[in-house]
A and B are shown apart, each in its own frame.
Chain A
Amino acid sequence: MNQVFTIVGTAMTIHLPAELDHHSSEQIQVEADRLIRTHNIRSLLFDFGGTSFMDSSGIGMIIGRYKMMRFMGGNVLAIRVSEQMRRILTMSGIYKVIDIYEGMPQQSELY
């Protein structure tokens, strides 16, 4: 994965790394927050397509971005979520506030 962030209009996708822990979460969050602000992002997609490990630091990073997006009136989705990652997202309770998709959502579901 050579590009971490993809922006189309006001939707931004964050292509998460293979292992989302404290170390990799910290690297993502500063740049993500800057891009959300400067590009007026309204839909934030966390792409788990290449992710096979996540711990509570990853959950913390997602909650932090969720709070920011909610404050700005935007929405947050998790896409291409594997069974293993769904387990962690479910345990954390975060599935109650963000929509989780096994595949890619339709364009109409983004806004």
Chain B
Amino acid sequence: MQNEMKLEFDSRSCNESFARVTVAAFLTQLDPTLEEVSDVKTAVSEAVTNAIIHGYEGRVEKVTILCRLEGRELYVEVRDEGKGIADVALAMEPLFTTKEECDRAGMGFSFMEAFMDSLEVESAPGQGTCVKMRKRIGREAGDGGGAGKEGSLGSSRAECMEKVKQERS
């Protein structure tokens, strides 16, 4: 069965919780485990927070989420029409952030990658950003879990930032 929903809301931080809970509620049709629900909520929260903080930089505009259940798979798309990202590969580097002074950890995309099965980011300056994620729900026993990647962000923040800087220059 295929089932789809679309959600549009203002880019206010108080809507972050609304957005992830709504996607989680939609997902319950696939009878996910608590861990799967938690994984999806975290990933959606990261994408929506990025749209609000980086895409619109505090301006109140619209964030849209498209959600589709395709068999046992969840597809989520989080879209903003904001600033866009000049270098997507750099933005996806663990611990990279443009807003360190705002206590941003730089782990948003890494968390999305870790908690979902696939992540794709489409963006260009001035063209907004679209984050596309997929996750298969209801794995067979012994199939491994979503977060088998613990410690993937293991090296220290300073080391990683240094590495990123070196790669840029």
Please tell me if A105 contacts chain B, counting CB pairs below 8 Å: no
Q: Which of A1-47 contact B (CB under 8 A)?
A: 19, 21-23, 25-26, 29
Please tell me if B119 contacts chain A, counting CB pairs below 8 Å: no
User: Chain B's nearest CB lies how many Å from the CB of A30?
Assistant: 11
| A92 partner, pick from B16, B38, B53, B153, beta carbons under 8 A | B153
- Chain B residues with Cβ below 8 Å from A22 are 13, 16, 45, 49, 52-53
Q: Do A19 and B42 form a contact, CB below 8 Å, given A56-B107, A60-B104? A: no
Chain A: interface residue total (CB-CB under 8 A): 25
Chain B residue at smallest Cβ distance from A18: B17
Of A23, A26, A59, A92, most buried by chain B (CB within 10 Å of CB) is: A92
Q: Do A93 and B38 form a contact, CB below 8 Å, given A55-B49, A56-B46, A87-B147? A: no
Are A90 and B38 in contact, with the CB atoms below 8 A?
A: no
- Chain A residues with Cβ below 8 Å from B45 are 21-22, 53, 55, 57
- Chain B residues with Cβ below 8 Å from A93 are 151, 153-157
Q: From DSSP, what is the main secondary structure of chain A's interface residues?
A: helix
- Chain A residues with Cβ below 8 Å from B107 are 56, 59-60, 92
Q: How far is the CA of A84 from the CA of B153 in the complex (A)?
A: 17
Q: Do A91 and B108 form a contact, CB below 8 Å, given A19-B17, A55-B49, A64-B103? A: no
- Chain B residues with Cβ below 8 Å from A98 are none
Are A59 and B105 in contact, with the CB atoms below 8 A?
A: yes
Please tell me if B114 contacts chain A, counting CB pairs below 8 Å: yes
- Chain A residues with Cβ below 8 Å from B102 are 60
- Chain B residues with Cβ below 8 Å from A57 are 45, 49, 104-105
Please tell me if B168 contacts chain A, counting CB pairs below 8 Å: no
Chain A residue at smallest Cβ distance from B115: A91
A binding-site residues for B, Cβ under 8 Å: 19, 21-23, 25-26, 29, 53-57, 59-61, 63-64, 84, 87-88, 90-93, 96
Q: List 15 A-B contacts (CB under 8 A).
A: A22-B45, A22-B53, A23-B16, A25-B103, A29-B103, A55-B49, A56-B46, A57-B104, A59-B105, A64-B103, A84-B38, A87-B150, A91-B111, A91-B151, A96-B156
What 7 pairs across the A-B complex have the smallest Cβ distances? A64-B103, A60-B105, A23-B13, A56-B107, A55-B45, A60-B103, A59-B105
B binding-site residues for A, Cβ under 8 Å: 13-14, 16-17, 35, 38, 41-42, 45-46, 49, 52-53, 102-108, 110-111, 114, 147, 149-157
